[in-house]
Structure 1
């Protein structure tokens, strides 16, 4: 089977034709999440407590900005709950893509201990082909497969290799978590060494790395450069993000940038005074327009690029 491109996206509500996605896409978000390792409940989006606020935000963004799709990168060991994803997607009338994989090492699940690449690949392929648990919901992307530091740890390398093999076997694309933006080139080298084409890889959190040369190198390979923590001012200013994005575009790589906000704790929700999922549309894109971006460029960054990434289409197929 030729896995070079898929013209339908796999969402929690079923298959969706790429042509049906007429509005913007959030390329890296969390709708349900549990990364609470401190016991303070901050790094949590609890379906019982926060689903209504999340649904209201997404619905409002659909009405105001035409939000059409959210790529939800909560995977194994991160509190994934695809039943809740499906109900939020239905109630907000916004399509949601669910993910499979493993996050970076502090969040690895016990099944990884001592497992080899083949065993972990089989786990991922089974979920992609048969659905997550008994839900029948099938993941539409691999992610966010993580590493931290400049080089993945041994366990992280095993997970990344398994993800690459599962992506090759199933035709899905793969999004990474590069902690604080570091290690993206090492991730890309490892993934492509397993035979996964670079255009089916998105390297995460690159807006946290103030290194335009690395961004150009990732983009020149054909991989996507994710500026996906927009609005997280405690990590990086949006002024710096904008400068880095403009530099990447001026280097000729506008077709390789992905944008999102990576809402990963309930304090980021608007009803708790946070920037919300809409910060990209309400604040960052207006600043990008002020820097000279026109409607076509905004559409490229927020719709066509993420659709090309998710569908696995190469430039020749667009």
Structure 2
């Protein structure tokens, strides 16, 4: 596997990977455990209620279930029509991963899909995770990369998104320590979901460094809902990690999961521009982290092609060169997804 990119259909040469979204969900159930089993919240989504449900103040357990393979095929095919080539799909333990469904989506659309592995935040963990140790979690992730994940022979091509909560739990830290071992053993990149507190990304980096993690091949997700000041942003950039702005298309200031004010796409682009101007172009990844039906085209949302249709032209208007855009959308994904090292 070394020197190649592992997709759900098998290995490909790095140069075969084109425009890539680094953090999406195609088939998942991300319904908060506290809301599951409440039929009064399973309200069908209609044009009349869609906006309010998407906004986040109206709890709804239908919007967080992306389980329809036919719908996934249609949405990914639309992304292909918008010029997209590949998607990194990070539905992992606790979120109802469907490797065989990803195989079907990739085969039917022609879009390359790279699958993640590991476990999300503790609230979504299976009960047996409470007694599992670091080496057990590491062995699971190593096996997922080398042989297949979730009882299939479909191999993961990246580790994560490994979940952390605001008050990082001991159980989540055991998963993270196992992920570091898996990164060392397989050469796969590691992608991490931090808690929504601005200092946790640096706490995570310190944790990884102490255990021999490969920081330049580590991606800190959700920067655009976690860090809002240049001081913290630049200190994180100086560690050499990759910073992922992966909530493009989310334009609501209200964030139902934490008391923060969310940026819009223009602010995200400005933050990226500040990093590029400081010399961190090769440390930036972008995506949309779609995990709700209301963000799909079929439900009046922006769909997986939003970055290509809308954000890239906006970036050009804000002074980004085509070479810079290609670095973010093609070259950096190639480098990160190549097992064991550099490419592109």
TM-score by length of 2: 0.84
For residue 60 of structure 1, report the CA deviation from its aligned partner: 2.6
- Alignment partner for residue 55 of structure 1, among 47, 62, 73? 73
Q: Please state if 1:282 is matched with 2:282.
A: no
SS of the equivalent of 2:113 reads strand
* Separation in 1, partners of 2:82, 2:116: 27
SS in 2 for 1:28: strand
* 1:205-253 Cα shifts (integer Å, max 9, x gaps): 0011212222222322221000011111224311221221111111110
Deviation at 1:31, TM superposition (A): 0.4
Aligned to 2:49: none
Q: How far apart, CA to CA, are the structure 2 residues paired with 1:180 and 1:43?
A: 20
Per chain length, whose mean CA-contact separation is higher, i.e. which structure has more relative contact order (CA < 8 Å, sep 6+)?
Answer: 2
Are the equivalent residues in 2 in contact too, given 1:199–1:314 (CA < 8 A)? no
SS of 1:264's equivalent in the other structure is coil
Alpha-carbon distance in 2 for matches of 1:236, 1:105 = 27
State whether structure 2 residue 106 is matched by structure 1 residue 89. Answer: yes
CA–CA distance in structure 2, aligned partners of residues 131 and 240 of structure 1: 39
- Equivalent position of 2:165 in the other structure: 148
Match of 1:187 in 2: 204
Shift of 1:132: 1.8
| 1:181–1:142 distance in 2 versus 1, CA, 3 Å | farther
Equivalent pair of 2:163/2:193 in contact (CA under 8 Å)? yes
Please tell me the root mean square deviation across aligned C-alpha atoms, in Å: 1.8
The aligned counterpart of 1:10 is 6
* 1:54–1:269 contact (8 Å) kept in structure 2: no
**Alignment correspondent of 1:291:** 318
Q: Is the contact made by 1:152 and 1:186 (CA closer than 8 Å) also made in structure 2?
A: no
Distance in 2 of aligned mates of 1:81 and 1:233: 29
**Distance in 2 separating the partners of 1:152 and 1:64:** 39
Map 1:96-245; keep pairs closer than 5 Å. Answer: 96-149=113-166, 152-180=168-196, 182=198, 183-208=200-225, 209-234=227-252, 235-245=262-272
In terms of mean alpha carbon deviation, does 229-238 or 244-253 score higher?
229-238
User: Which range moved further: 227-236 or 301-310?
Assistant: 227-236
Matched residues in 1 for 2:62 and 2:211: separation? 38
**Which moved further from structure 2: 216-225 or 270-279?**
216-225
Give the unaligned 5+ runs of structure 1.
none
Please say which of residues 260-269 and 217-226 is displaced more in the overlay: 217-226
1:29 paired residue among 20, 24, 40: 24
TM-score when normalising by structure 1: 0.91
Q: CA deviation at 1:123?
A: 2.0
In terms of mean alpha carbon deviation, does 257-266 or 210-219 score higher? 210-219
1:302 and 1:280 map into 2 onto residues whose CA distance is: 10
Seen in structure 2, the aligned counterparts of structure 1 residues 280 and 257 have a Cα distance that, compared at 3 Å, is: same
| Number of residue pairs matched by the alignment | 307
CA distance in 2, matches of 1:122, 1:11: 20
Task: Tell which deviates more after alignment, 205-214 or 137-146.
Answer: 205-214
2:276 aligned with 1:249, yes or no? yes
Which residue, 335, 338, 341 being the options, matches 1:311? 338
Runs of 4+ with deviation above 4 angstroms: 312-315
Name 1:262's counterpart in structure 2. 289
SS at match of 2:196: helix
1:181 Cα deviation (Å)?
6.2
Deviations 1:166-202 (A, max 9, x none): 1111111110112336411111221222212111100
1:8/1:18 contact within 8 Å kept: yes
Structure whose alpha-carbon radius of gyration is higher: 2
Confirm or deny: 8 A CA contact 2:22 2:285 kept in the other structure: yes
